[in-house]
Structure 1
């Protein structure tokens, strides 16, 4: 079929007299391999890259003068959470303006369990970006067991295996876990191994938000690697980091675990967002035992005097480990019950509502927020030294861990707007932590190879025409923690599946993305 396709391309070229849909001229081409840039032109026809080189005699419906611009493959964000956000902005501008043309969602164990139905929804909606998905452990477990804190029965295990296998047949790229979240945190390693094996039958990737990213991070990384080893499948350790002041500098201890695994023959890679703050739900501030068996049970525990004392003690212990006196590191991103909390730390919220300025009272405020529906949070807890050290590792991809954002809605982590621009602007251009060509390899061909995304991730003849053009001298992230709703700058043109989507820095409304079905 591939040979026939190129024959047809050749015939079309003759008939049209070297006519393209889009012709990119005079660009500084960085092809995604990690090789040095070169000057040249690119012709795009029928959604594919038709020719690369010096194309003086070519004509096109649309010609782009790329003088002074980098021309690269569209960026692939392998760790996103876009579920239930797609309708808010099908144009996915927070991703598009950051150079992202493809996302993988369903991470951290959270996904749709009916992948076929989800992909059909996306096909009908028509987003601007390409979308692939994992099948997530947490939602599989909820579908069979709810949020019970127990080991599954054999019948339940077989049900869960069946859901995972069907999702893989329907095109999921692999199996993801969020072992810090409910109900994944209640699972034991053998359960995860069995479900990973169900995905491994279809050559899927095992991606994990590991069980602990703080004091027990080494054991948690080793668990993920062991799951990959036993299931005989590639491993992706999600948003690789060290949380808590007491763990700063330990990337020198954790990165060698990945290096050793690769030396043993395990296809182990990691991904990273270039920030010193994370973002997740406020429930992670509570012990997992308090969150089992549904909202009514959670509410009852959080209103029980003895349980509240235990939870407060848990929170105080966390602070002492970090040598902190208050929960100033935990900032509310989106609290629907009272949006005046948004953008304020738990310490600030506690004072705003008139409670005593103590850590004990701040934990009570946390519990009250959970009782009233919970909130998303931004947690400041990593150090810049680790961020840079992890960034230097060659088998590390850049991933936002973000979603589709709508301007003005809540106070989210800025990573949903600026991950790639931040890498290219701050860490490549300003700090020179890694070269430009290497950064682009990590954003393109490395993720395409890892997740077996055929004909993606490189600028090659016959490959999908997902292409970004940006100014390496001005590309920058503008989004900040205080003012996150700001699009990145510097991306002048974005082409997705051969369709011009961003022109002269402006999204033109084109929605030519497609679902990425493995196999």
Structure 2
């Protein structure tokens, strides 16, 4: 007897092939059979007439390293069909992190949150032990953040030979603990200061391996194509598996031109034999640290050094000039998108809470100052721990990436402890179905499901999930595509998506008849 049989559904198996009518049997946490299955063969029968039956969705780019330990973890993920998430992205992972390194903890705070005292973070093995000790509502894996590793070994801006050897040793140790791969954050300190050759030298242990190396690239605006070339160079030099995170072209002057060029660069590299792919989120706004708008020379040396630089008038004048003129090696976000398109979404001091959700332009006006002084003052007041939402790209470029054939859908979600999160935290996967399949008709449902299941599974070598295939783990969604809705917005983001009738995690129903069951059926997944 099978535990469950899902009858009469439209099977969208994750391959991108056309939907077909069939039944799906689940037993012992696996997809036991796909075909015509009599009702009498199951303990529980689910009628999926008129509904899509798909693999569970996989988000390979979240920042929920600490969120996974919160009591409310799971509801917003499962409600949009997510059954597997991967954290530790953009060079920032919760391990290996020394809890005594206050500067690093403060730097990580706007992205992954406060490091919880009861979570082991000194090694990836310790983190996995902590994660494995709790009841997980969905599957969780981790990338090793190279930024935190470099932060622990660097004594200056550039590594010595001894520091590079130490970096490699830590890399090998942490990967042996089961990290899915490594992530780099080349837009953030300290990796933004490293040369391409220094990065290649540090990543030497990954030469001729299939261990994924994911890149938050050095630039995502005017210099995005040069940044893509850098990723390709690293991949081809090391004969390695590389992946570009949240591909985009920031700034209106780059829309509809840089992405077609960048996608062609990736296609050409794939034709030469490089294992390279990318991912994209379906929103025109991003979200990260407000510090990210500063030029590299302003963030060198960590939070304390940054704050000291921001205090002086001469430095502020230099910053204003830099933002007006731009320059090499600097994604001048404020210059490309304008202060009216940058929102301060998370603030921590009581005096500044009233400004959450307002643009820098409007906050500056309310404080009786100009945007540059406003940003400098507030970064000082908030100890640099400010999260922003910035409107940076266009839906036409998003659609181009979605349809390239090698792009995964991701959310890049940050879980703020307070303030307003980006609505993608709650609604990314519903938005793909509602907006890009239903409203804009940029892609078929079959193509969208592939981009949310098999493509991300392949990107991180997750071999036992991502397809509806006999023998694979039974992570399965059942839904009516017309009923899947993103309910949150930038003004009111804290609303779970709607439309999932059933969500199975490892063969057990986490959502049944549209309601969360409260079950915790997830697993820690390792390489």
Provide the TM-score with structure 2 as the length reference.
0.89
Q: Kindly report which structure 2 residues correspond to 1:260-275, keeping only aligned pairs within 5 A, or say none.
A: 260-275=268-283
1:314 paired to 2:322: yes
1:387 paired to 2:398: yes
The Cα of 1:62 is off from its aligned counterpart by 2.9
Determine the C-alpha separation between the residues in 2 that align with 1:110 and 1:231.
22
Determine the C-alpha separation between the residues in 2 that align with 1:240 and 1:324.
17
The Cα of 1:324 is off from its aligned counterpart by 7.6
Per-residue CA shift, 1:401-432, capped at 9, x if unaligned? 114577xx411111111111111111112222
Q: Which range moves more in the overlay, 187-196 or 40-49?
A: 187-196
Structure 2 residues not aligned, in runs of 5+: 97-122
Determine the C-alpha separation between the residues in 2 that align with 1:499 and 1:454.
20
Please name the residue that 1:349 is paired with.
Answer: 363
Do the aligned partners of 1:23 and 1:42 also contact (CA within 8 Å) in 2? yes
1:414 paired to 2:426: no
Q: Which range moves more in the overlay, 79-88 or 203-212?
A: 79-88
Determine the C-alpha separation between the residues in 1 that align with 2:501 and 2:460.
28
Q: Kindly report which structure 2 residues correspond to 1:270-285, keeping only aligned pairs within 5 A, or say none.
A: 270-285=278-293
Q: Kindly report which structure 2 residues correspond to 1:124-273, keeping only aligned pairs within 5 A, or say none.
A: 124-145=133-154, 148=156, 150-200=157-207, 203-250=210-257, 251-273=259-281
Distance 1:240 1:326, change over 3 A: closer
Distance 1:328 1:166, change over 3 A: same
Do the aligned partners of 2:209 and 2:241 also contact (CA within 8 Å) in 1? no
Determine the C-alpha separation between the residues in 2 that align with 1:315 and 1:92.
40
The Cα of 1:464 is off from its aligned counterpart by 0.2
Structure 1 residues not aligned, in runs of 5+: 1-18
Determine the C-alpha separation between the residues in 1 that align with 2:302 and 2:38.
65
Determine the C-alpha separation between the residues in 2 that align with 1:404 and 1:70.
30
Please name the residue that 1:473 is paired with.
Answer: 482
Aligned length: 491
The Cα of 1:316 is off from its aligned counterpart by 3.0
Do the aligned partners of 2:187 and 2:216 also contact (CA within 8 Å) in 1? yes
Do the aligned partners of 1:174 and 1:199 also contact (CA within 8 Å) in 2? no
Do the aligned partners of 1:286 and 1:314 also contact (CA within 8 Å) in 2? no
Determine the C-alpha separation between the residues in 2 that align with 1:517 and 1:237.
21
Q: Which range moves more in the overlay, 200-209 or 459-468?
A: 200-209
Distance 1:34 1:405, change over 3 A: farther
Aligned partner (choices 335, 347, 360) of residue 335 of structure 1: 347
Determine the C-alpha separation between the residues in 2 that align with 1:60 and 1:334.
49
Aligned partner (choices 301, 310, 318) of residue 293 of structure 1: 301
Determine the C-alpha separation between the residues in 1 that align with 2:408 and 2:10.
23
Provide the TM-score with structure 1 as the length reference.
0.91
Do the aligned partners of 1:72 and 1:467 also contact (CA within 8 Å) in 2? yes
Do the aligned partners of 1:86 and 1:404 also contact (CA within 8 Å) in 2? no
Determine the C-alpha separation between the residues in 2 that align with 1:362 and 1:419.
31
The Cα of 1:322 is off from its aligned counterpart by 7.8
RMSD: 1.9
The Cα of 1:228 is off from its aligned counterpart by 0.9
The Cα of 1:88 is off from its aligned counterpart by 2.4
The Cα of 1:272 is off from its aligned counterpart by 0.3
Determine the C-alpha separation between the residues in 1 that align with 2:493 and 2:340.
19
Please name the residue that 2:10 is paired with.
Answer: 28
What secondary structure does 1:328 align onto? helix
Q: Kindly report which structure 2 residues correspond to 1:29-48, keeping only aligned pairs within 5 A, or say none.
A: 29-48=11-30
The Cα of 1:89 is off from its aligned counterpart by 4.0
Do the aligned partners of 1:74 and 1:468 also contact (CA within 8 Å) in 2? yes
Q: Which range moves more in the overlay, 238-247 or 409-418?
A: 409-418
